[in-house]
Amino acid sequence: MQNIINFCKKAAIFLPCIVLLAFSGSWIGMAVDFDSQSAESRSVISEVSREEIYRGPNPFEDFTFEKKEETRQPAAQPNPNYTVENLFFTSEESDIVLKKDACYVKNMTHLSADEVKNIMLRPVAFTVEKNSRQPQILIMHTHATESYIPDTNTPYDPSYAFRNTDTGQNMVAVGRKMAETLNSLGYNTIQDATLHDYPSYNGSYDNSKRTVEKYLEKYPSIKIVLDVHRDAVESDGRIINPVTSINGKEYAQIMIISGADNGYMNMPNYKENLKFASAVQNRAAKSYPGLMRPILFDYRNYNQQLTTGSILVEMGTHGSTLQQAINSAEAFAHSLAAALDEMS
């Protein structure tokens, strides 16, 4: 009987431990499984992030006008220059910046320098009819509300987000000047003024894709789609304005972005877009020396699969003035028209 009592006493001590160990094993197994699932989840998120980055950086990922308007405060003190530094971006040949004639291309792809140079300045895959009754060129703005530095006399406003729904102050104004100039030069151009990034920045490329597709369906004559933006460049807290002076007139420097396909981006004809981009770049560089920054040739989409004449055009930065950007829009339009004249 005493042996039974001793056994029960021992069991009272060890049985909970055994049960605890059993449950601990389950928890450990669950923890391992959870960690494994987390790793898988992280892998999926990482893949999504990589796909998203192909569409370019998004410095205003959570931007909404409603949020900015709620937090906007009246200007408190003058700051006539918003800490802007004017810089001239030079084009210099290097291992990644390739030169052919007057055209520079910054090659951020895995294509060799020889491959890219072989694409540059080759004949484009389409012709554009001059003085056509049907539209040949579409100008639109995925980020239409992008805007420029306020007038230097405007008081400093810390909540100013370089966004504006006023089409007389944002990218629509720049695109309007470009369209007017192209039409005056004989190239039938239409402009879409939809604010694809209003009220939310997110989803703007999906919005603009639907817009372009509607225009292409309505006007199959359209060969060229220009998505006109402005860049955003900062350094050590300073806003950088890439600017050049030509014959005493200030121009915001321009950068063309031509996307490339890494095999997963549904852009089988991306090399044709680069041919077109380099033709325009080359003409602009000759007509307006210093106006163009090197073409950015990178794994990005920007809906450039929709035509073989689709490019994204960055008109200055948020440190440029609207007038500098409008000057550049006119110069770019003249250069594009001259390039099309040469291609016909």
Find, among 251, 220, 227, the residue nearest to 328 by Cα.
Answer: 251
Name the pairing type of β-strands 97-100 and 103-107: antiparallel
Asked if residue 336 has pLDDT above 90, the reply is yes
Residue 144 has pLDDT above 90, yes or no: yes
pLDDT above 50 for 327: yes
- Between 74 and 122, residue with greater pLDDT: 122
Contact 139, 192 (CB under 8 A): yes
Q: Which residues touch 241 (CB under 8 Å, ≥6 apart)?
A: 84, 85, 86, 87, 149, 252, 316, 317, 319, 320, 324
Residue with tokens 């987390």: 38
pLDDT at 42: 27
**DSSP secondary structure letter of residue 288:** S
pLDDT of residue 19: 38
pTM for this entry? 0.78
Instruction: Say yes or no to pLDDT of 5 above 50.
Output: no
Q: Poorest-confidence range of 1-15, 174-188, 275-289?
A: 1-15
How far apart (Å, rounded) are the C-alpha atoms in residues 89 and 242? 6
Domain 73-343 has CATH 3.40.630.40: yes
Q: Which of 103, 170, 195, 215 lies closest to 329 in space, CA to CA? A: 170
β-pairing verdict for 234-235 and 249-252: unpaired
Q: Which of 271, 319, 260 minimizes the C-alpha distance to 88?
A: 319
> Which residues neighbour 39 within 8 Å (Cβ) at sequence distance 6 or greater?
none
- Tell me the C-alpha distance between 344 and 336, whole Å: 12
- Residue 25 tokens read as 């094993």
